[in-house]
Structure 1
Amino acid sequence: MDAQGHSHTDKPEREATLLRPDQAHIEDEKDKDIHGGSSHTKIGTIDSYSDASDVERDAGISRFPTQQDHLGSDLQPNPTELERIQTQKSQHSQTVGCITLKSRASTKPLPALGANKPYPPQLLNQEAYVTEFDGPNDPLHAQNWPFMDKLIIATMLGFTTFTASLGSAIFSTTIPHLQAEFHVGSVVATLGTSLYVLGFSTGPILWAPYSELKGRRSPLVIASLGFAIFNLAVAVAKDVQTVMICRFFGGFFGACPLTCVAAVFSDMFNNRSRGNAITIFAMAVFCGPLFAPFIGGFIVKSKLGWRWTEYITAILGFVCFALNVVFLRETYAPQILVEKAATLRRATKNWAIHAKQDEIEIDFRELLEKNFSRPLRMLVTERIVLLITIYMSFIYGILYLFLTAYPLVFQRVHGMNPGVGGLPYFGLIFGQLLAGLVIFLRQPAYERKLAANNNVNIPEWRLPDVIAGGISFAAGMFWFGWTGYRADIHWIVPTLSGLLLGFGLLAIFLPLFNYLIDSYLMGSLPLLILPSERIG
């Protein structure tokens, strides 16, 4: 009997030694992960007409306490309950519109229905009109989509993330030309990169709660269009003020893929395949800034001029917008049920049909208290989150420091031009590709451990790779600093240090990213914005 009152007498003794006390009740057939595929929120209220399955929630999915914990129920999930659990994830008390409706109740009398009509009676069984998934194998659920559909969406969103991260660093190659055209100092010119990163840190405050309230597709489509427009505005700017303002908003909209794409992958992939999907995302995040100096260096050196670095970024942004509009499908399960309810209402003319997500009412105070402040509250109350955030912020910050250090070493010390001076970044890129390959090769071993543990995920299994990455990263930094300051040392020597640096960057960032998702699955989306907030 565990702390929640669950009986495990029917479990083999071997499994009992492997499973955590708060996870041992999850059975092997639940590995479909239909109830834990994304950073959904949890049930916050229990209506009088709800049955017991409406309040059941897997404790193994999240470290947050649930109402099930407080009720002390010993109900076990079964396949028919999984879709109900998934349906009501957005109803947790940490989500807007769940338990404080009374505080927003209007004191004004209700308006008349009109034409002397009396108010209709309350529906006897409102739950009968709530849309749900048709079992754990419902093809509407993102985890049940064909693999090719998932691959197309993952590739497309990887390209969107790459474009956003490319825009953050490509501007650094234009700084000398910006100084000459607008007659500003290097500090002011460099502000364009700083403001973009500041937009990266402030944007998730909007995009994270928006994606949990309205789904993933809407913010990604809106943000890709806004990103393209503001980069285009930088390209045609007539003064430095316009450049700086538009750079900030370009970063603000560009932050959306960094915030939401990991959640989309978590929606589509279960514990077995999520690691590989997040690897694609992490490589897109890191490779974008490393390709940028190479691409931007040759552009500013050519007859095109510095403005074409922004034109090309804007063009890529419009391509992402077109791809997202045409091919991106909604992956967030509660929003899928909202769309299903809308389809049924139109087809049946029964306007009582709705999804649980439709019951949410948005209030600014609740947004501020529950969604906007949640990352900071978790940063204060969860020590492991604080430590991981500091470390990941340091690593991501070092990545941007290399954008300044590499030109000093390879252009000033070794006399390379801006275009050729961007080639040494490929050492970092190849190092990241090597780390990604190692992670892919280790995935079967992870799946075997998962199967041996009754398909219950242990977040700490992700951490050994971080140890190897930390050693590699520290060694690479020492190598680069030791060999990069003298012209008599061949340029290939500091370039090769990028293999260790790139390997360490991804081997640190990716497992910690997965650790946060595995540990705080339902609240992981706000957590994923903390590193960028600390950088900003």
Structure 2
Amino acid sequence: MKRFSDLEAEDAQEYVQRAEAELEDSAEKLDLIVVHFQEGDPEDPHNWPRWYRWYLCVFDCYLVFLTTFASSIPSGFAGALAKEFGLSSELVALTITLFIVGFCVGPVLWGPLSEQYGRRPVLLACSIVFTAFQIGCALAKNKAEITTFRLISGIFSAGAHPIAPAVMADVWDVATREKALIYLGFLSFVGPTMGPLVGGYMASAGIEWQWCFWLLAILCGVSTIMIALTHKETYRPIILERKAASLRKQLNDNRYRAPLELLERHTLGGRLRLTLSKPFVMFVREPALIATTVYLAFTGGCLYMLFEAYPIVFEEGHHFKPSSLGLAYLPLTGGAIIMLLVYLAVIQPAYERAVAAHAPAPVPPEVRLAPAIWTAPLFAASFFWFGWTSFPTVSFWVPLMSGVLLGLSTLALLVALLNYVVDVYVHTAATALGALTVIRSISGAVFPLFSTQLFRALNPRWASTLVGCVAVLMVPIPLALQKWGPALRRRSQYLQQDAV
């Protein structure tokens, strides 16, 4: 019997599928009855009512939105926080970035725990702690407390990030899951752009800074109650374990076992050590993963960089009020909405046609790169547009509208490259995405720390030009992956192991 340490970080569900025949043989020798879902089994998440499965997906998308919204809403109270705690501009930025640092820890921690104990209990526990520390932030008395509570909040809020896409994979077929993941990507992008808008209006209305955290506590508290009351367990191996336990009790027959119970499961500590180390071991060995991770880390960092750049351009240059500054982020959301509609109306149907054309063989992963190839130049162009129209003498509408191009291209790159990674590393996708998520979160945490100095030292024109030039250097990445991706896959030891 294999051990979990032999899996090269495959998730438990994939292992159960691969080892099913071996488990059946072992069960027969031990005179055990292996419990599986039967055709039309109402306990199988794939057979749950369609409306309820969509409810779970929409609700989990909302949870991801809420965590990203929580990351940026304090930026609207930057002045109040600086005055209350005696913070420099860098420390005010730190109250935002420390929350994002929590995203570096959470995804690789809560993912494996959800495979040990199920999606629902981990999601519920994370939501309870997340809610509690929003209350802690509202009651903070000094800068040590506010920064510590923000960091812990970020760690526990990140429970939704690996669990939400996992729930979608639990309950949907591949085609429907892709549509659900598009909504997830959209809301994870919109959350950070809505935070400054709401926070800015609250601050301009004279509301105390504590109320941004009280608002989050209320939203998180309601979400926690909804998880407890309405969110079923979706992880199929765990459901089968419970089903086997119920059969043993009802029939007084100890032969009933779920597939996961027949595996020699790693201890929790060993499982966590394996999961925490494997993503980074895999990352340094896979050129395709390095390229996509670096690109997505850069785009994610640029998004959070705008929280420091926009005040310089629009508050200082165009004399926006704090409440009006939040409106500057709406074009980003508008661009993302345009890309969402294009994806659903054009790109996704084209991919479904490709699936039919290649059947029964799988679609080559490089097909996923098409949106990234034509939006990569747009992403770079948006920074030149923003920078060289940021003069106070130029109408603020001109740099403002660069956000449409930036929002459109950022979402397209995010969805296309994430789908590419999932398609390439089918059986080790959780590991690949673990490394990508952590490094992208680090970028989102670090960029705001130097953005203010960069835009003041070089002025917005040359600072944006520098960022745009780096983006130009990354334009060939999707093209290179399209050309050399098949060769890289043939040389990948992880994909060779999958083929065994």
Per the normalisation by structure 2, the TM-score is: 0.81
Letter in 1 for 2:410: L
2-structure distance, mates of 1:65, 1:228: 32
- Verify: 1:251 aligned to 2:154, yes or no: yes
The partner residue of 2:291 within 378, 387, 390 is: 387
Stretches of structure 1 that go unaligned for 5 or more consecutive residues are 1-42, 47-61, 67-84, 93-97, 99-121
1:209 offset after TM fit, Å? Answer: 1.2
Letter in 2 for 1:476: S
Match for residue 505 of structure 1? 410
CA 1:206/1:200 → structure 2, altered by over 3 Å: closer, same or farther? Answer: same
Deviations 1:384-441 (A, max 9, x none): 1111111111111111001111122111111111111110211000100111111101
- Verify: 1:363 aligned to 2:267, yes or no: yes
CA 1:522/1:326 → structure 2, altered by over 3 Å: closer, same or farther? Answer: farther
1-structure distance, mates of 2:318, 2:343: 35
Letter in 2 for 1:132: H
2-structure distance, mates of 1:281, 1:202: 20
Match for residue 469 of structure 2? none
Deviations 1:475-499 (A, max 9, x none): 1111111112x11111111111111
- Verify: 1:449 aligned to 2:354, yes or no: yes
Greater shift in the superposed pair: 503-512 or 344-353? 344-353
1:325-340 alignment to 2 at 5 Å? 325-340=228-243
8 A Cα contact 2:175 2:352, kept in partner: yes
1:176-195 alignment to 2 at 5 Å? 176-195=79-98
Task: Name the SS for the 1:423 alignment partner.
Answer: helix
8 A Cα contact 1:297 1:419, kept in partner: yes
8 A Cα contact 1:201 1:529, kept in partner: no
Stretches of structure 2 that go unaligned for 5 or more consecutive residues are 443-500
Deviations 1:149-171 (A, max 9, x none): 11111111111110000011112
The partner residue of 1:474 within 380, 393, 400 is: 380
- Verify: 1:398 aligned to 2:302, yes or no: yes
2-structure distance, mates of 1:336, 1:124: 22
- Verify: 1:316 aligned to 2:219, yes or no: yes
Letter in 2 for 1:175: A
Match for residue 148 of structure 1? 51
Per the normalisation by structure 1, the TM-score is: 0.75
CA 1:337/1:169 → structure 2, altered by over 3 Å: closer, same or farther? Answer: same
The partner residue of 2:389 within 475, 483, 486 is: 483
Greater shift in the superposed pair: 162-171 or 187-196? 187-196
8 A Cα contact 1:159 1:320, kept in partner: no
Match for residue 38 of structure 1? none
More helix by share: 2
Deviations 1:300-321 (A, max 9, x none): 2223211111111111111221
Task: Name the SS for the 2:322 alignment partner.
Answer: coil
Deviations 1:261-311 (A, max 9, x none): 112112222222222111111011110000000000011222321111111
Task: Name the SS for the 1:140 alignment partner.
Answer: coil
Letter in 1 for 2:352: E
CA 1:152/1:368 → structure 2, altered by over 3 Å: closer, same or farther? Answer: closer
Match for residue 171 of structure 1? 74
- Verify: 1:205 aligned to 2:87, yes or no: no
Match for residue 215 of structure 1? 118
Task: Name the SS for the 2:306 alignment partner.
Answer: helix
8 A Cα contact 1:263 1:525, kept in partner: no
Letter in 2 for 1:491: F
Deviations 1:221-246 (A, max 9, x none): 11111111111110111121111111
Percent of aligned pairs with the same amino acid: 31
Match for residue 249 of structure 2? 346
Deviations 1:319-372 (A, max 9, x none): 221121122122222112112112222322323422122345342563255212
1:50-199 alignment to 2 at 5 Å? 88-89=16-17, 125-126=29-30, 128-135=32-39, 137-199=40-102
8 A Cα contact 1:258 1:285, kept in partner: no
Letter in 1 for 2:401: L
The partner residue of 1:412 within 310, 313, 316 is: 316
2-structure distance, mates of 1:213, 1:90: 18
Deviations 1:455-477 (A, max 9, x none): 53432221101112212211111
2-structure distance, mates of 1:477, 1:528: 27
Task: Name the SS for the 2:356 alignment partner.
Answer: helix
The partner residue of 1:437 within 337, 341, 344 is: 341
1-structure distance, mates of 2:28, 2:407: 61
2-structure distance, mates of 1:165, 1:530: 19
Task: Name the SS for the 2:256 alignment partner.
Answer: coil
8 A Cα contact 1:278 1:514, kept in partner: no
8 A Cα contact 1:87 1:132, kept in partner: no
8 A Cα contact 2:31 2:255, kept in partner: no
- Verify: 1:300 aligned to 2:206, yes or no: no
The partner residue of 1:378 within 276, 282, 287 is: 282
The partner residue of 2:144 within 215, 234, 241 is: 241
Return the index of the structure with the highest Cα Rg. Answer: 1
8 A Cα contact 1:262 1:278, kept in partner: yes
8 A Cα contact 1:209 1:372, kept in partner: no
Greater shift in the superposed pair: 500-509 or 434-443? 434-443
CA 1:268/1:514 → structure 2, altered by over 3 Å: closer, same or farther? Answer: farther
2-structure distance, mates of 1:364, 1:346: 26
Deviations 1:15-72 (A, max 9, x none): xxxxxxxxxxxxxxxxxxxxxxxxxxxx9469xxxxxxxxxxxxxxx9x899xxxxxx
Letter in 1 for 2:389: T
1:266-281 alignment to 2 at 5 Å? 266-281=169-184
1:198 offset after TM fit, Å? Answer: 1.0
Letter in 2 for 1:274: R
1-structure distance, mates of 2:350, 2:212: 43
CA 1:459/1:475 → structure 2, altered by over 3 Å: closer, same or farther? Answer: same
CA 1:393/1:466 → structure 2, altered by over 3 Å: closer, same or farther? Answer: same
1:249 offset after TM fit, Å? Answer: 0.6
Task: Name the SS for the 1:156 alignment partner.
Answer: helix
1-structure distance, mates of 2:273, 2:124: 27
8 A Cα contact 1:87 1:337, kept in partner: no
2-structure distance, mates of 1:127, 1:211: 30
